[in-house]
Amino acid sequence: MTALDAADRLVAATRAGRLEPTEEPRAEALALAVAANLPVLIWGEPGIGKSATLLQLAAGLGLPMETVIASVHEPSDFAGLPIVGDSPATDGVPMAPPDWAVRLARTGSGLIFFDELSSAPPAVQAALLRVVLERRVGSLRLPEPIRIVAAANPPASAADGWHLAPPLANRFVHLPWAHDPRTVARGLAGTWPAVTVPVVRPERAGAALARARGALAGFLTARPGLTHHLPADAESRGGAWPSPRTWEMVLRLLTFHYSARTGREALALAVAGAVGPGAGLEFVTYLENLDLPDPERVLADPAAFTLPERGDRQLAFLTAVISAVRADVTRPRWEAGWVVLEKAVAAGVPDVAARAAADLAALREPGWPVPATVEAFAEVLSLSGLLPG
């Protein structure tokens, strides 16, 4: 026993504590995005517990965590260092990855934490693009289950801070982080909030994806100007803004939200973190007023539903129904989809149903009879060649 053994035990005692479940929207939004395997960037002042939250999240997921301080690395640390072999003209020159990437690839899963991202110079940020987008570090491809989380201080409080380059910023879900004095006080008393990982329900997955596809199709049809909007100022371009890439992130977030039934406030934070606060608020408000029928219930009894009145809701509903059929294509479900489209034609909106008809026709298996409803879409389908005449 050394003179410091008792001191080390006391240090360990000051770090010990228990965790309790809590409804903290920021932590829930972080867990939602990580569960959906979307790169997350946490923005907050130094010393407010970003790293501690991620350690707890990794422990809750049962994943190893590798911390990489982005600001002290060179571009070659992410692009890889060239290793010349015996036959470079024949075999090429592989780019050797760093040790942390090799450890994660060997494990097959884990969480990479890129800290101090806003202190990394533009050349390092450019090298990180491939890691975040393609999961490649040098010549090594990281396994798909590996999650990517980064943290950054606002440029004003970061050491030698930089605004994020728009291509890198547009690849993250941005979450603002702040401390709650009451949470800190309770934590220092020995009880910290637990980061709850959302549990995906497999039985809800098909319907969840169908609802999410329908909602996004309806919203972007009604608000096409929000499909892509690059902000004018450098600070905003270094945050969240709408693009086809970030709307695809929203699709995944919404699907996981419907499947795991996470909180609405957490979803709103995550959506705003993907497409920006303006577009995010519009979309979440749209969702609250959408109130679409469950596509699975409609397919089970297609004669009993009522088509929504608004055009964007009609498109959202029909997209959700076709997506549900696509998730589990059987002849009864396919035929039920045509009953739904027949109601849309009878309601006087064949133009809205025409796109859905082409998608539904593409799901037909050889030998299935052509329903009479197809006659309403004869011109569209004959041009596509999806159904026989």
The larger pLDDT score, comparing residue 145 to residue 14, is at 145
In whole angstroms, what is the distance from residue 68 CA to residue 115 CA? 6
Q: In this predicted structure, what is the pLDDT of residue 101?
A: 92
Q: Are 113 and 77 in contact (CB under 8 A)?
A: no
In whole angstroms, what is the distance from residue 216 CA to residue 222 CA? 10
What SS3 string covers the chain? CCCCHHHHHHHHHHHCCEEECCCCHHHHHHHHHHHCCCCEEEECCCCCCHHHHHHHHHHHHCCCEEEEEHHHCCCHHHHCEECCCCCHHHHCCCEECCHHHHHHHHHCCCEEEEECHHHCCHHHHHHHHHHHHHCEECCEECCCCCEEEEEECCCCCCCCCCCCCHHHHCCCEEEECCCCHHHHHHHHCCEEECCCCCCCCHHHHHHHHHHHHHHHHHHHHHCHHHCCCCCCCHHHHCCCCCCHHHHHHHHHHHHHHHHHCCCHHHHHHHHHHHHCHHHHHHHHHHHHHHCCCCHHHHHHCCCCCCCCCCHHHHHHHHHHHHHHHHHCCCHHHHHHHHHHHHHHHHCCCHHHHHHHHHHHHCCCCCCCCCCHHHHHHHHHHHHHCCCCC
Q: What is the pLDDT of residues 168-210, one digit of tens each?
A: 899 999 999 887 787 778 777 877 777 777 888 888 888 899 9
Structure token digits, residue 59: 């422990």
Q: In this predicted structure, what is the pLDDT of residue 255?
A: 96
> Which are the contacts of 186, defined by CB distance < 8 A and separation ≥ 6?
192
Q: In this predicted structure, what is the pLDDT of residue 378?
A: 67
In whole angstroms, what is the distance from residue 118 CA to residue 96 CA? 25
Q: Let me know the angle formed at the C-alpha of 322 by 319 and 327, rounded to the nearest 5 degrees.
A: 120
Q: Domain 40-83+93-171 is of which CATH architecture?
A: 3-Layer(aba) Sandwich (3.40)
**Residue 270 confidence class, pLDDT cut points 50, 70, 90:** very high
Q: Select the highest-mean-pLDDT range: 153-167, 203-217, 364-378.
A: 203-217
The larger pLDDT score, comparing residue 1 to residue 365, is at 365
Q: In this predicted structure, what is the pLDDT of residue 271?
A: 97
- Distances in Å between the alpha carbon of 126 and those of 45, 134, 167, 204, 240? 24, 13, 8, 39, 18
Q: In this predicted structure, what is the pLDDT of residue 42?
A: 94
Whether 46 has a pLDDT exceeding 90, the answer reads no
Q: In this predicted structure, what is the pLDDT of residue 389?
A: 46
Q: In this predicted structure, what is the pLDDT of residue 85?
A: 62
**Residue 91 confidence class, pLDDT cut points 50, 70, 90:** low
Q: In this predicted structure, what is the pLDDT of residue 104?
A: 92
Q: Select the highest-mean-pLDDT range: 43-52, 181-190, 298-307.
A: 298-307
Which backbone phi and psi does 20 adopt, to 5 degrees? -130, 145
Task: Please report, rounded to a whole number, the percentage of residues in the chain having pLDDT higher than 70.
Answer: 92
Residue 41: CA atoms inside 13 Å, Cβ hemisphere, count?
23
The larger pLDDT score, comparing residue 1 to residue 346, is at 346
Q: In this predicted structure, what is the pLDDT of residue 188?
A: 77
Q: Are 246 and 240 in contact (CB under 8 A)?
A: yes
Q: In this predicted structure, what is the pLDDT of residue 380?
A: 53
Whether 307 has a pLDDT exceeding 90, the answer reads no
Q: In this predicted structure, what is the pLDDT of residue 65?
A: 92
| Residue 179 CB neighbour total at 10 angstroms | 14
> For the residues 325-342, what does the mean pLDDT come to?
90
Q: In this predicted structure, what is the pLDDT of residue 333?
A: 93
- Give the strand pairing for 18-20 and 147-152: unpaired
In whole angstroms, what is the distance from residue 89 CA to residue 378 CA? 58
- Distances in Å between the alpha carbon of 17 and those of 22, 28, 158, 160? 15, 21, 31, 36
Q: What is the pLDDT of residues 65-89, one digit of tens each?
A: 999 998 888 888 888 777 766 666 6
> Which are the contacts of 127, defined by CB distance < 8 A and separation ≥ 6?
75, 76, 77, 78, 79
Q: What is the pLDDT of residues 116-134, one digit of tens each?
A: 888 888 888 888 888 998 8
In whole angstroms, what is the distance from residue 38 CA to residue 277 CA? 18
Mean pLDDT over the full length of the chain: 85
